[in-house]
Chain A
Protein backbone atom coordinates (compact mmCIF):
# COMPACT_ATOMS: atom_id res chain seq x y z
CA UNK A 1 0.00 0.00 0.00
CA UNK A 2 1.34 3.44 -0.87
CA UNK A 3 1.30 6.22 1.71
CA UNK A 4 -1.57 8.69 1.82
CA UNK A 5 -2.74 11.56 3.96
CA UNK A 6 -5.67 10.49 6.12
CA UNK A 7 -8.43 13.06 6.55
CA UNK A 8 -11.26 12.03 8.87
CA UNK A 9 -14.46 14.08 8.53
CA UNK A 10 -17.51 14.60 10.73
CA UNK A 11 -19.91 16.45 8.41
CA UNK A 12 -21.03 16.21 4.77
CA UNK A 13 -19.98 19.82 4.26
CA UNK A 14 -16.46 19.12 5.46
CA UNK A 15 -16.15 16.03 3.24
CA UNK A 16 -17.48 17.91 0.18
CA UNK A 17 -15.05 20.73 0.71
CA UNK A 18 -12.07 18.35 1.02
CA UNK A 19 -12.97 16.24 -2.01
CA UNK A 20 -13.60 19.36 -4.13
CA UNK A 21 -10.13 20.51 -3.13
CA UNK A 22 -8.32 17.25 -3.99
CA UNK A 23 -10.60 15.79 -6.72
CA UNK A 24 -8.77 12.94 -8.57
CA UNK A 25 -5.94 12.99 -6.02
CA UNK A 26 -8.40 12.17 -3.27
CA UNK A 27 -10.61 9.19 -2.61
CA UNK A 28 -13.60 8.80 -0.32
CA UNK A 29 -13.31 6.02 2.26
CA UNK A 30 -16.50 4.67 3.81
CA UNK A 31 -16.34 1.10 5.19
CA UNK A 32 -13.40 0.31 2.92
CA UNK A 33 -14.41 -3.32 2.44
CA UNK A 34 -13.45 -3.09 -1.22
CA UNK A 35 -11.26 -0.01 -1.09
CA UNK A 36 -8.65 -1.30 1.38
CA UNK A 37 -8.01 -4.32 -0.85
CA UNK A 38 -7.67 -2.06 -3.90
CA UNK A 39 -5.19 0.13 -2.01
CA UNK A 40 -3.21 -2.88 -0.85
CA UNK A 41 -3.04 -4.28 -4.37
CA UNK A 42 -2.00 -0.80 -5.59
CA UNK A 43 -4.85 -0.79 -8.09
CA UNK A 44 -5.49 2.71 -6.82
CA UNK A 45 -3.09 5.01 -4.97
CA UNK A 46 -4.77 8.24 -3.90
CA UNK A 47 -2.66 10.89 -2.15
CA UNK A 48 -5.52 11.81 0.17
CA UNK A 49 -7.99 9.46 1.78
CA UNK A 50 -11.07 11.30 3.03
CA UNK A 51 -12.73 9.10 5.65
CA UNK A 52 -16.48 9.72 5.84
CA UNK A 53 -17.40 6.75 8.05
CA UNK A 54 -17.56 9.08 11.06
CA UNK A 55 -20.29 11.27 9.54
CA UNK A 56 -23.23 10.32 11.76
CA UNK A 57 -25.72 12.37 9.70
CA UNK A 58 -25.26 9.80 6.89
CA UNK A 59 -26.22 6.80 8.97
CA UNK A 60 -29.98 6.38 9.21
CA UNK A 61 -32.99 4.40 8.02
CA UNK A 62 -36.34 6.18 7.93
CA UNK A 63 -39.70 5.22 6.48
CA UNK A 64 -43.09 6.79 5.98
CA UNK A 65 -45.90 5.72 3.65
CA UNK A 66 -45.81 8.94 1.64
CA UNK A 67 -42.07 9.25 1.00
CA UNK A 68 -41.03 5.62 1.28
CA UNK A 69 -37.64 4.54 2.59
CA UNK A 70 -34.58 6.72 3.04
CA UNK A 71 -31.21 5.19 3.89
CA UNK A 72 -28.10 7.20 4.61
CA UNK A 73 -25.17 6.11 2.45
CA UNK A 74 -23.25 5.00 5.56
CA UNK A 75 -25.92 2.55 6.70
CA UNK A 76 -24.12 -0.77 7.12
CA UNK A 77 -25.24 -3.94 5.35
CA UNK A 78 -25.86 -5.45 8.78
CA UNK A 79 -28.16 -2.57 9.77
CA UNK A 80 -30.22 -3.12 6.60
CA UNK A 81 -30.35 -6.88 7.27
CA UNK A 82 -31.55 -6.32 10.85
CA UNK A 83 -33.87 -3.33 10.30
CA UNK A 84 -37.45 -4.26 11.37
CA UNK A 85 -38.99 -1.76 8.92
CA UNK A 86 -36.97 -3.13 6.01
CA UNK A 87 -37.79 -6.71 7.01
CA UNK A 88 -41.46 -5.76 7.00
CA UNK A 89 -41.74 -3.45 3.99
CA UNK A 90 -38.81 -4.42 1.75
CA UNK A 91 -38.21 -8.02 2.75
CA UNK A 92 -36.24 -8.72 -0.44
CA UNK A 93 -33.54 -6.32 0.80
CA UNK A 94 -33.09 -7.86 4.24
CA UNK A 95 -33.04 -11.36 2.72
CA UNK A 96 -30.54 -10.25 0.08
CA UNK A 97 -28.29 -8.69 2.72
CA UNK A 98 -28.07 -12.01 4.59
CA UNK A 99 -26.05 -13.29 1.67
CA UNK A 100 -23.77 -10.29 1.14
CA UNK A 101 -20.13 -11.37 1.70
CA UNK A 102 -19.75 -12.34 5.38
CA UNK A 103 -21.00 -11.01 8.72
CA UNK A 104 -17.65 -9.28 9.29
CA UNK A 105 -17.91 -7.41 5.99
CA UNK A 106 -21.56 -6.54 6.56
CA UNK A 107 -20.73 -5.15 10.00
CA UNK A 108 -18.27 -2.60 8.64
CA UNK A 109 -19.20 -2.17 4.98
CA UNK A 110 -21.76 0.43 3.93
CA UNK A 111 -24.50 0.43 1.30
CA UNK A 112 -23.19 3.66 -0.25
CA UNK A 113 -19.67 2.33 -0.48
CA UNK A 114 -20.95 -0.87 -2.04
CA UNK A 115 -22.81 1.01 -4.78
CA UNK A 116 -19.90 3.37 -5.47
CA UNK A 117 -17.47 0.48 -5.84
CA UNK A 118 -19.71 -0.60 -8.77
CA UNK A 119 -18.63 -4.21 -8.77
CA UNK A 120 -20.65 -5.87 -11.55
CA UNK A 121 -21.32 -8.83 -9.26
CA UNK A 122 -22.37 -6.69 -6.28
CA UNK A 123 -25.48 -8.01 -4.51
CA UNK A 124 -27.44 -4.91 -3.48
CA UNK A 125 -27.73 -3.05 -6.81
CA UNK A 126 -30.09 -5.46 -8.65
CA UNK A 127 -32.72 -5.51 -5.88
CA UNK A 128 -32.47 -1.77 -5.35
CA UNK A 129 -32.99 -1.18 -9.08
CA UNK A 130 -35.97 -3.57 -9.08
CA UNK A 131 -37.39 -1.51 -6.20
CA UNK A 132 -36.97 1.69 -8.31
CA UNK A 133 -34.27 3.17 -6.07
CA UNK A 134 -33.04 6.69 -6.52
CA UNK A 135 -29.81 8.03 -5.13
CA UNK A 136 -28.87 11.45 -3.87
CA UNK A 137 -25.51 12.85 -4.88
CA UNK A 138 -23.99 16.00 -3.44
CA UNK A 139 -20.92 18.13 -3.96
CA UNK A 140 -19.92 21.63 -2.98
CA UNK A 141 -21.56 22.68 -6.27
CA UNK A 142 -24.99 21.43 -5.18
CA UNK A 143 -27.01 18.22 -5.23
CA UNK A 144 -29.09 16.00 -7.48
CA UNK A 145 -31.20 12.86 -7.32
CA UNK A 146 -30.98 10.26 -10.08
CA UNK A 147 -32.37 6.75 -10.64
CA UNK A 148 -29.88 4.12 -9.48
CA UNK A 149 -30.46 2.45 -12.85
CA UNK A 150 -28.46 5.27 -14.52
CA UNK A 151 -25.63 5.36 -12.00
CA UNK A 152 -23.41 2.55 -13.31
CA UNK A 153 -21.52 3.23 -16.53
CA UNK A 154 -19.01 0.38 -16.83
CA UNK A 155 -17.08 -2.20 -14.78
CA UNK A 156 -16.26 -0.52 -11.46
CA UNK A 157 -17.29 2.83 -12.92
CA UNK A 158 -20.14 5.18 -12.09
CA UNK A 159 -21.11 8.62 -13.26
CA UNK A 160 -19.92 10.17 -9.97
CA UNK A 161 -17.71 13.16 -10.68
CA UNK A 162 -14.42 13.27 -8.72
CA UNK A 163 -15.85 15.86 -6.30
CA UNK A 164 -19.22 14.17 -5.69
CA UNK A 165 -20.41 12.02 -2.79
CA UNK A 166 -23.35 9.62 -2.74
CA UNK A 167 -25.34 10.49 0.38
CA UNK A 168 -28.71 8.75 0.31
CA UNK A 169 -30.64 5.85 -1.19
CA UNK A 170 -34.38 6.40 -1.63
CA UNK A 171 -37.05 3.79 -2.27
CA UNK A 172 -40.68 4.56 -3.06
CA UNK A 173 -43.37 3.04 -0.82
CA UNK A 174 -44.16 -0.57 -1.70
CA UNK A 175 -46.83 -0.88 -4.41
CA UNK A 176 -49.90 -3.08 -3.82
CA UNK A 177 -50.00 -6.56 -5.42
CA UNK A 178 -46.24 -6.53 -5.93
CA UNK A 179 -43.76 -9.34 -5.35
CA UNK A 180 -40.02 -8.76 -5.44
CA UNK A 181 -37.38 -11.50 -5.30
CA UNK A 182 -33.63 -11.75 -5.55
CA UNK A 183 -31.96 -14.93 -6.74
CA UNK A 184 -28.38 -15.75 -7.44
CA UNK A 185 -26.49 -18.68 -8.81
CA UNK A 186 -23.02 -19.72 -7.79
CA UNK A 187 -21.35 -23.10 -8.01
CA UNK A 188 -20.74 -23.15 -4.24
CA UNK A 189 -22.73 -21.44 -1.50
CA UNK A 190 -21.12 -18.07 -0.73
CA UNK A 191 -18.93 -18.42 -3.82
CA UNK A 192 -18.44 -15.92 -6.62
CA UNK A 193 -21.74 -15.49 -8.34
CA UNK A 194 -22.20 -16.51 -11.94
CA UNK A 195 -25.54 -14.76 -12.47
CA UNK A 196 -28.02 -12.93 -10.29
CA UNK A 197 -31.40 -11.43 -10.92
CA UNK A 198 -33.93 -9.38 -9.06
CA UNK A 199 -37.50 -9.37 -10.30
CA UNK A 200 -40.42 -7.19 -9.38
CA UNK A 201 -43.87 -8.20 -10.58
CA UNK A 202 -46.92 -6.01 -10.00
CA UNK A 203 -50.31 -7.56 -10.72
CA UNK A 204 -53.66 -6.03 -11.63
CA UNK A 205 -56.42 -6.57 -9.05
CA UNK A 206 -57.39 -9.82 -10.84
CA UNK A 207 -54.07 -11.17 -9.45
CA UNK A 208 -53.25 -12.80 -12.78
CA UNK A 209 -52.53 -9.99 -15.21
CA UNK A 210 -49.11 -8.40 -15.12
CA UNK A 211 -49.34 -4.65 -14.64
CA UNK A 212 -45.62 -4.03 -14.47
CA UNK A 213 -42.53 -6.24 -14.54
CA UNK A 214 -38.94 -5.32 -13.83
CA UNK A 215 -36.35 -7.92 -14.67
CA UNK A 216 -32.97 -6.77 -13.41
CA UNK A 217 -29.92 -8.82 -14.28
CA UNK A 218 -26.45 -8.73 -12.78
CA UNK A 219 -23.04 -10.36 -13.31
CA UNK A 220 -23.96 -10.87 -16.97
CA UNK A 221 -22.89 -7.46 -18.29
CA UNK A 222 -20.47 -4.69 -17.25
CA UNK A 223 -23.25 -3.14 -15.14
CA UNK A 224 -26.48 -4.38 -13.55
CA UNK A 225 -29.33 -3.57 -15.91
CA UNK A 226 -33.07 -3.64 -16.29
CA UNK A 227 -33.98 -6.01 -19.16
CA UNK A 228 -36.65 -3.70 -20.51
CA UNK A 229 -37.73 -5.75 -23.55
CA UNK A 230 -38.51 -8.70 -21.31
CA UNK A 231 -40.37 -6.51 -18.82
CA UNK A 232 -42.38 -4.80 -21.56
CA UNK A 233 -43.31 -8.15 -23.03
CA UNK A 234 -45.01 -9.16 -19.79
CA UNK A 235 -46.85 -5.90 -19.09
CA UNK A 236 -50.58 -6.17 -19.73
CA UNK A 237 -50.55 -9.95 -20.26
CA UNK A 238 -51.91 -12.79 -18.15
CA UNK A 239 -49.00 -14.57 -16.56
CA UNK A 240 -48.55 -18.23 -17.50
CA UNK A 241 -45.62 -20.59 -18.07
CA UNK A 242 -45.35 -19.74 -21.77
CA UNK A 243 -45.14 -16.01 -21.10
CA UNK A 244 -42.57 -16.59 -18.36
CA UNK A 245 -40.43 -18.76 -20.67
CA UNK A 246 -40.62 -16.16 -23.42
CA UNK A 247 -39.66 -13.31 -21.07
CA UNK A 248 -36.75 -15.30 -19.65
CA UNK A 249 -35.50 -16.06 -23.15
CA UNK A 250 -35.68 -12.37 -24.09
CA UNK A 251 -33.93 -11.36 -20.89
CA UNK A 252 -31.09 -13.80 -21.50
CA UNK A 253 -30.68 -12.39 -25.02
CA UNK A 254 -30.26 -8.91 -23.50
CA UNK A 255 -27.24 -10.06 -21.49
CA UNK A 256 -23.67 -9.38 -22.54
CA UNK A 257 -21.68 -11.77 -20.36
CA UNK A 258 -17.90 -11.81 -20.08
CA UNK A 259 -16.29 -15.24 -19.87
CA UNK A 260 -13.90 -15.68 -16.93
CA UNK A 261 -12.49 -18.49 -14.79
CA UNK A 262 -15.85 -18.94 -13.10
CA UNK A 263 -18.05 -19.44 -16.16
CA UNK A 264 -18.12 -19.12 -19.93
CA UNK A 265 -20.35 -16.55 -21.62
CA UNK A 266 -22.61 -19.34 -22.99
CA UNK A 267 -23.03 -20.88 -19.55
CA UNK A 268 -23.86 -17.51 -18.00
CA UNK A 269 -26.49 -16.80 -20.66
CA UNK A 270 -28.08 -20.22 -20.19
CA UNK A 271 -28.12 -19.86 -16.40
CA UNK A 272 -29.59 -16.37 -16.79
CA UNK A 273 -32.47 -17.87 -18.72
CA UNK A 274 -33.13 -20.55 -16.10
CA UNK A 275 -32.72 -18.23 -13.13
CA UNK A 276 -35.01 -15.52 -14.52
CA UNK A 277 -37.68 -18.15 -15.18
CA UNK A 278 -37.50 -19.37 -11.58
CA UNK A 279 -37.39 -15.86 -10.16
CA UNK A 280 -40.40 -14.64 -12.17
CA UNK A 281 -42.41 -17.63 -10.94
CA UNK A 282 -41.47 -16.87 -7.35
CA UNK A 283 -42.16 -13.13 -7.72
CA UNK A 284 -45.55 -13.96 -9.28
CA UNK A 285 -46.47 -16.18 -6.33
CA UNK A 286 -45.38 -13.47 -3.90
CA UNK A 287 -47.36 -10.81 -5.79
CA UNK A 288 -50.56 -12.90 -5.61
CA UNK A 289 -50.58 -12.75 -1.83
CA UNK A 290 -49.09 -9.26 -1.44
Chain B
Protein backbone atom coordinates (compact mmCIF):
# COMPACT_ATOMS: atom_id res chain seq x y z
CA UNK B 1 0.00 0.00 0.00
CA UNK B 2 1.38 3.39 -0.98
CA UNK B 3 0.99 5.69 2.01
CA UNK B 4 -0.03 9.24 1.21
CA UNK B 5 2.25 11.94 2.54
CA UNK B 6 0.63 14.61 4.65
CA UNK B 7 1.08 18.35 4.77
CA UNK B 8 2.77 19.66 7.89
CA UNK B 9 2.78 23.33 8.82
CA UNK B 10 5.06 24.14 11.70
CA UNK B 11 7.17 27.01 12.99
CA UNK B 12 10.67 26.00 14.05
CA UNK B 13 12.86 28.53 15.85
CA UNK B 14 10.61 31.28 14.54
CA UNK B 15 10.76 30.18 10.92
CA UNK B 16 7.58 28.85 9.26
CA UNK B 17 7.77 25.61 7.25
CA UNK B 18 5.21 23.88 5.08
CA UNK B 19 6.14 20.47 3.78
CA UNK B 20 4.93 17.01 2.78
CA UNK B 21 6.07 14.25 5.09
CA UNK B 22 5.48 10.55 5.70
CA UNK B 23 3.10 10.04 8.64
CA UNK B 24 5.60 7.86 10.51
CA UNK B 25 8.17 10.67 10.67
CA UNK B 26 8.89 11.52 14.28
CA UNK B 27 9.51 15.09 15.34
CA UNK B 28 13.14 14.14 15.94
CA UNK B 29 13.54 12.76 12.40
CA UNK B 30 11.89 15.87 10.99
CA UNK B 31 14.28 18.16 12.82
CA UNK B 32 17.45 16.19 12.13
CA UNK B 33 16.85 14.72 8.67
CA UNK B 34 14.49 17.16 6.98
CA UNK B 35 15.47 20.47 8.57
CA UNK B 36 19.14 19.75 9.28
CA UNK B 37 18.81 20.75 12.92
CA UNK B 38 21.01 18.17 14.60
CA UNK B 39 21.11 19.78 18.05
CA UNK B 40 18.43 17.45 19.40
CA UNK B 41 20.19 14.11 19.70
CA UNK B 42 19.04 10.64 18.79
CA UNK B 43 19.99 8.20 21.54
CA UNK B 44 17.74 5.81 23.48
CA UNK B 45 14.75 6.12 21.12
CA UNK B 46 12.41 4.82 23.80
CA UNK B 47 11.40 7.93 25.66
CA UNK B 48 13.98 7.53 28.42
CA UNK B 49 17.11 9.63 28.07
CA UNK B 50 15.93 13.14 27.16
CA UNK B 51 18.79 13.86 24.71
CA UNK B 52 16.16 14.73 22.08
CA UNK B 53 14.31 17.25 24.27
CA UNK B 54 12.86 20.25 22.41
CA UNK B 55 10.18 22.76 23.33
CA UNK B 56 6.75 22.57 21.69
CA UNK B 57 4.80 25.72 22.41
CA UNK B 58 5.93 26.14 26.01
CA UNK B 59 6.39 22.48 26.89
CA UNK B 60 9.55 20.41 26.95
CA UNK B 61 8.90 17.15 25.08
CA UNK B 62 10.99 14.23 23.90
CA UNK B 63 11.09 14.60 20.12
CA UNK B 64 11.71 10.87 19.57
CA UNK B 65 8.29 10.09 21.02
CA UNK B 66 6.12 12.65 19.25
CA UNK B 67 5.00 12.28 15.64
CA UNK B 68 5.92 15.28 13.51
CA UNK B 69 2.30 15.55 12.36
CA UNK B 70 1.23 15.95 15.99
CA UNK B 71 2.95 19.33 16.13
CA UNK B 72 1.06 20.59 13.09
CA UNK B 73 0.21 24.26 13.66
CA UNK B 74 2.47 24.50 16.70
CA UNK B 75 5.75 26.22 17.45
CA UNK B 76 8.93 24.24 18.06
CA UNK B 77 12.11 25.59 19.65
CA UNK B 78 15.35 23.64 19.48
CA UNK B 79 18.76 24.37 20.95
CA UNK B 80 19.64 26.11 17.66
CA UNK B 81 16.99 28.70 18.54
CA UNK B 82 18.41 29.56 21.97
CA UNK B 83 21.17 32.01 21.12
CA UNK B 84 20.14 35.38 19.72
CA UNK B 85 20.59 36.04 15.98
CA UNK B 86 23.81 37.99 16.51
CA UNK B 87 25.33 34.88 18.09
CA UNK B 88 25.09 36.01 21.68
CA UNK B 89 24.58 32.93 23.83
CA UNK B 90 21.45 32.45 25.90
CA UNK B 91 22.18 32.96 29.64
CA UNK B 92 21.72 29.21 30.19
CA UNK B 93 24.28 28.38 27.49
CA UNK B 94 26.77 30.94 28.82
CA UNK B 95 26.36 29.71 32.39
CA UNK B 96 26.73 26.07 31.34
CA UNK B 97 30.04 27.15 29.77
CA UNK B 98 31.11 29.14 32.82
CA UNK B 99 30.34 26.23 35.13
CA UNK B 100 31.78 23.64 32.77
CA UNK B 101 28.43 21.91 33.08
CA UNK B 102 29.12 19.08 30.68
CA UNK B 103 31.70 16.51 29.84
CA UNK B 104 31.11 14.97 26.41
CA UNK B 105 28.27 17.40 25.68
CA UNK B 106 25.94 14.91 24.02
CA UNK B 107 23.10 15.41 26.51
CA UNK B 108 23.64 19.18 26.76
CA UNK B 109 21.12 20.35 24.10
CA UNK B 110 18.36 18.35 25.77
CA UNK B 111 19.34 19.63 29.20
CA UNK B 112 19.36 23.23 28.00
CA UNK B 113 15.87 22.89 26.54
CA UNK B 114 14.47 21.24 29.68
CA UNK B 115 16.08 23.94 31.80
CA UNK B 116 14.69 26.69 29.57
CA UNK B 117 11.15 25.31 29.76
CA UNK B 118 11.46 24.98 33.53
CA UNK B 119 12.79 28.53 34.09
CA UNK B 120 10.19 30.02 31.74
CA UNK B 121 7.49 28.45 33.88
CA UNK B 122 9.02 28.74 37.34
CA UNK B 123 11.21 31.74 38.11
CA UNK B 124 12.17 30.56 41.56
CA UNK B 125 13.05 26.89 41.43
CA UNK B 126 14.90 25.56 44.45
CA UNK B 127 17.40 22.76 44.14
CA UNK B 128 14.74 20.13 44.67
CA UNK B 129 12.56 21.61 41.90
CA UNK B 130 15.55 21.60 39.58
CA UNK B 131 16.49 18.02 40.37
CA UNK B 132 12.91 16.86 39.93
CA UNK B 133 12.27 18.75 36.70
CA UNK B 134 15.57 17.64 35.18
CA UNK B 135 14.94 14.01 36.04
CA UNK B 136 14.08 13.22 32.40
CA UNK B 137 17.55 14.17 31.14
CA UNK B 138 20.20 11.54 31.65
CA UNK B 139 23.94 12.22 31.45
CA UNK B 140 26.07 9.20 30.66
CA UNK B 141 29.18 10.97 31.95
CA UNK B 142 27.25 11.56 35.20
CA UNK B 143 28.14 15.24 35.20
CA UNK B 144 25.06 16.15 37.17
CA UNK B 145 26.27 18.51 39.86
CA UNK B 146 27.69 21.25 37.64
CA UNK B 147 24.62 21.74 35.50
CA UNK B 148 22.32 21.83 38.51
CA UNK B 149 24.59 24.53 39.97
CA UNK B 150 24.51 26.33 36.61
CA UNK B 151 20.72 26.31 36.43
CA UNK B 152 20.54 27.52 40.02
CA UNK B 153 22.87 30.37 39.16
CA UNK B 154 20.78 31.41 36.15
CA UNK B 155 17.61 31.31 38.26
CA UNK B 156 19.24 33.47 40.94
CA UNK B 157 20.50 35.95 38.37
CA UNK B 158 17.02 36.14 36.84
CA UNK B 159 15.53 36.75 40.23
CA UNK B 160 18.09 39.48 40.94
CA UNK B 161 17.32 41.19 37.62
CA UNK B 162 13.61 41.43 38.40
Contact = CB atoms under 8 A, between A and B. Distances in A.
B100 interface: no
B61 A108 contact: yes
B142 to A, nearest CB: 13
Nearest to B46: A37
A33 B65 contact: yes
B139 to A, nearest CB: 14
Contacts of A47: 1
Contact of A103 (B26, B45, B133): B133
B23 A104 contact: no
**Of B56, B70, B117, most A-chain CB atoms within 10 Å:** B70
Contacts of A107: 59-61
A216 B24 CA distance: 38
B93 interface: no
Contacts of B135: 102-103, 189-190
A49 B24 CA distance: 10
Contact of B26 (A8, A36, A98, A105): A36
Given A4-B24, A108-B61, A103 B118 contact: yes
A177 interface: no
Given A36-B26, A39-B24, A107-B61, A6 B69 contact: yes
B69 A37 contact: no
Contacts of B114: 103-104
Contacts of A189: 135
B23 A3 contact: yes
B66 interface: yes
Contacts of B41: none
B44 to A, nearest CB: 10
Contact-residue size bin, chain B (C-beta under 8 Å from the other chain): 20 to 34
Nearest to B66: A108
B23 A4 contact: yes
A73 interface: no
A32 B65 contact: yes
B65 A108 contact: yes
A40 B135 CA distance: 24
A103 B60 contact: yes
Interface in A142-188: none
A134 interface: no
Interface in A24-73: 29, 32-34, 36-37, 39-41, 47, 49, 51, 53
Contacts of A32: 65-67, 70
A103 B47 CA distance: 11
Interface in B43-85: 45-47, 50, 53, 56, 59-62, 64-67, 69-70, 72
A3 B26 CA distance: 12
A101 interface: yes
Contacts of B143: none
A219 B151 CA distance: 35
A37 B62 CA distance: 12
Given A39-B24, A78-B59, A104 B69 contact: no
A104 B3 contact: no
A240 B24 CA distance: 56
Nearest to B3: A3
Given A3-B3, A8-B72, A103-B118, A36 B65 contact: yes
B4 interface: yes
Interface of B: 1, 3-4, 6, 22-24, 26, 45-47, 50, 53, 56, 59-62, 64-67, 69-70, 72, 114, 117-118, 132-133, 135-137
Interface of A: 1-6, 8, 29, 32-34, 36-37, 39-41, 47, 49, 51, 53, 78, 98, 101-105, 107-108, 189-190
Given A5-B4, A8-B69, A108-B62, 18 more contacts: A1-B24, A6-B67, A29-B67, A32-B65, A36-B47, A36-B64, A37-B47, A49-B23, A102-B135, A103-B117, A103-B135, A103-B136, A104-B61, A105-B62, A107-B60, A107-B61, A108-B59, A108-B61
The 4 A-B residue pairs with the shortest CB-CB distance, nearest first, are: A102-B136, A6-B23, A107-B59, A3-B3
